Amino acid sequence: MNRATKSGIAAEAQSKVDAKYNEQHANECLVWIAEVTGKDVDPSGSMDNFYEQLKTGVLLCEVINALKPASIKKIQTSSMAFKCMENINNFVDGAKALGVPSQETFQTVDLWEKQNLNSVVICIQSLGRKGSQFGKPSIGPKESEKNVRQFTDEQLNASNTVISLQYGSNKGANQAGMSFGTTRHM
């Protein structure tokens, strides 16, 4: 990372971002990655360990290929910055292709420059929820399913006879205590 140390407002903003990072969730993600890929991964959820395990993007690409084989054709093994960032970008694209919503993904610099590791955790958790769809273990809460309901026309029209309280109420309204037009005594 070749960034200058942040100061002032930027430092405050970065400390707020870093405060959202949860070591327990990061640990859960690293354990899941080890289960899915079969690789030896240090499961410590500390921010430094999480970053060190994932910064090259190789392990992340292996997760995508474990869930859906041959999704990522070439995993870059070089430690050059551009190659690592390409791996990270391929992971994000692969996660989107497997159904992770774009609002739960992260920017490449969030991981590569250690800017927002919490967003990386969120993306891995979102991908982890989809694990059972691919015959792999899953993490986190079970993903919701559609619950489509069918109503008859009679049921739908029954709501037309109800006056909603949004239209107001006349309960308790009166003019007691109102004193328009009386003179003011001095």
CATH number (domain holding residue 70): 1.10.418.10
pTM (predicted TM-score): 0.74
Q: Is residue 183 part of a domain?
A: no
Fill in the amino acid letter for 26: A
Domain assignment of residue 65, yes or no = yes
30 located within any domain: yes
| The predicted structure's pLDDT at residue 26 | 92
pLDDT tens column, 45-74: 899 999 999 999 999 999 999 999 988 999
Is residue 32 included in any domain, yes or no? yes
Residue 58 lies in a domain: yes
Q: What pLDDT, in 10s, does the model give residues 143-163? A: 778 889 999 999 888 888 877
Kindly write down the DSSP assignment for every residue of 71-138, as one continuous string: SSS------SHHHHHHHHHHHHHHHHHTT--GGG---HHHHHT-S-HHHHHHHHHHHHHTGGGGTS--
Q: Which domain holds residue 107?
A: 17-134
Our count of domains for the chain comes to: 1
Residue 111 lies in a domain: yes
